Structure 1
Amino acid sequence: MSATVGPQVPSDWQLVRSGGPRPFTTWREYRGPDDLAYTWQDRPHRKGHGARRGGARPRSGYWAPDRLAWWVAVSFVVGSALFILGAAGSLVPSAFGGDKTAMSLFAEVAYTLGALLYTAAVYGQILESLNEDDRITSDGSSRPPESWRWVGFKIRDLGFVWAFVFLIGAVIFNYETIAALLSTAHLIPEEVGLWWTSLVGALFFLVASVLQTFEAGHGYFPKTLRNVSWWVGAMFVLGSVGFTVGAVPGFSITGSLQAEGEPGASIVKIGFLVGGIAFLVGSWLMLPELGKEMASEQDTDASAEKAA
């Protein structure tokens, strides 16, 4: 369990100031003996100095398979596309010749695969947090951790906390989507699938996404809207709201808004469609975000090599 927040810096560096949404710290400013300042920011550092394989570094965030952050983004993109596909397919029953069973199977398969990819992506974000390059040298470059960590807790690290909350929601979502798929295929009783778990999972997504915006904006409100990392979180917030709205009819106990009838069924489909689109936009923005941070990392390393 990590007891500190921030990188390991040279002993002759002085911490000048720090900040973030309390009680978390998401940035720190240091000053070295040469009177030069170095600013560490949690998410940008994690993306630019995150887990990676050796070899030549890619120049673009759109194609960087040596980076864990790239696989996280791609998994979210494909998972979001599957949610959109499932919702869109369920809105067009004529595409299945009016066969509601075929339509339902198509939608549930898409939702299940999408939820599994979300789970993999969120676990990847946890691994990013656990394995970021956390040792800063005197020239401002960084060194990777000495050993790979598959599990761990960094309860004072907001980036880890929101990813862990997101993982809980994803696991809950997996239960509902898999149960719904199996019950649609008549492999398990329908009552085994609990609709309310979708709502609970979506609410966990919402909390995690809001915390993500806090980390990216270094506070409860962003200081500037020209922050691609904050827009990633904002799109995830919108996606979570869409999923929450889509899950509400399944939780209805009044009988007036059931998912099996109208308008409940349409609310489910449209909610997941809109949510999937918002998640897709946010996921896609993670690619230029990665490219920006990789470029910053390469500039730092180049300056260090020139100084040497």
Structure 2
Amino acid sequence: MTEIPSAGRSTARDRWVAWLFIVGSSLFALGAVPSYVEAVGLRLCAATFFVGSLFFTGAAFLQYREAVDALAAVGATRRRSLWVWAPRNLVWPAGAVQLAGKLWFNWSTGNALRDNLSAEPTEQRVWRPDALGSIAFLVSSAVADAESGIHRCLGSCGPGN
């Protein structure tokens, strides 16, 4: 049987996820400050965004692993593989889609570091992955919201409730 930590108890993984998101968000906020861009230049500012995206991806990977580890054990074995397929458990696709979105942001922020990109490569290497990442985050959020609604309503939702 898989044991899931109680809602009130924080795990080391939860703290890592929080800190990785905090550092990534801080780097994105720093990169958006005009005086920072003026002080360090466009290239270092782009590097700031890229490093921030790596912290986000680390947090998303840990969240994905949390979803995988929370899946019911198959037989008597726990899921130890890096990648699993569990689309019927809504927590899993929410984490997997979010991780894909983070990887698209890694791709786009990494390509933004390139010098002298013309308009067409910029569209293909920076803006399209950003759009795909944004769509992935919206899908992930919708799936997570649907999953939370399912758990909220188990046994108590119905007509008149």
Give the CA deviation at 1:146. 4.2
**Corresponding residue number in structure 1 for 2:158:** none
CA separation in 1, counterparts of 2:57 and 2:43?
21
1:177 aligns with 2:109: yes
| Larger radius of gyration between Structure 1 and Structure 2 | 1
Higher strand share: 1
Match of 1:118 among 56, 76, 79: 56
Aligned match of 2:17:
72
User: Residues 86 and 93 of structure 1: is their aligned pair in 2 closer, same or farther, counting only changes over 3 Å?
Assistant: closer
The answer to whether the 8 Å contact 1:86/1:111 transfers is: yes
The corresponding residue for 2:42 is 104
Which ranges in structure 2 are unaligned for 5 or more consecutive residues?
Answer: 154-161
Structure number with the higher helix fraction is: 2
State the Cα deviation string for residues 90-127 of structure 1 (Å, max 9, x = none): x226851xxxxx43223211211111111121111121
- 1:56-75 deviation per Cα after TM superposition (whole angstroms, max 9, x unaligned): xxx974xx5xx322212221
Identity of aligned residues (%): 25
**CA distance in 1: counterparts of 2:140 and 2:67, whole angstroms:** 15
Partners of 1:131 and 1:145 within 8 A in 2: no
TM-score by length of 1: 0.41
Q: Secondary structure at the match of 2:32?
A: helix
Q: What is aligned with 2:32? A: 87
**Aligned-pair CA distance for 1:206:** 1.7
Between the two proteins, the alignment pairs up a number of residues equal to 146
Q: Indicate how the Cα distance of structure 1 residues 107 and 217 shifts in structure 2: closer, same or farther if over 3 A, else same.
A: farther
Contact 1:173–1:201 under 8 Å retained in 2: yes
Distance 1:147 1:153 in 2: 11
- Structure 1 70/217 Cα, relative in aligned 2: closer, same or farther at 3 Å? farther
- Distance in 2 between residues matched to 1:94 and 1:104, nearest whole Å: 6
2:117 aligns with 190
Q: Over aligned residues, Cα RMSD in angstroms?
A: 3.2
> For residue 306 of structure 1, what is the aligned residue in structure 2?
none
Instruction: Kindly indicate whether the alpha-carbon contact (under 8 Å) linking 1:79 and 1:118 is maintained by their aligned counterparts in 2.
Output: yes
Q: Which runs of 5+ in 1 are unaligned?
A: 1-7, 10-44, 50-58, 97-101, 136-143, 224-308
Instruction: With the length of structure 2 as denominator, give the TM-score of the two structures.
Output: 0.73
User: Superposed, which structure 2 residues align to 1:121-270 within 5 Å?
Assistant: 121-132=59-70, 134=72, 146=78, 148-181=80-113, 183=114, 186=115, 189-191=116-118, 192-193=121-122, 194=125, 195-218=127-150
Structure 2 letter corresponding to 1:132? A
| Distance (Å, rounded) in 1 between the aligned partners of 2:78 and 2:17 | 22
Give the whole-Å Cα distance in 2 for the aligned partners of 1:84 and 1:93: 10
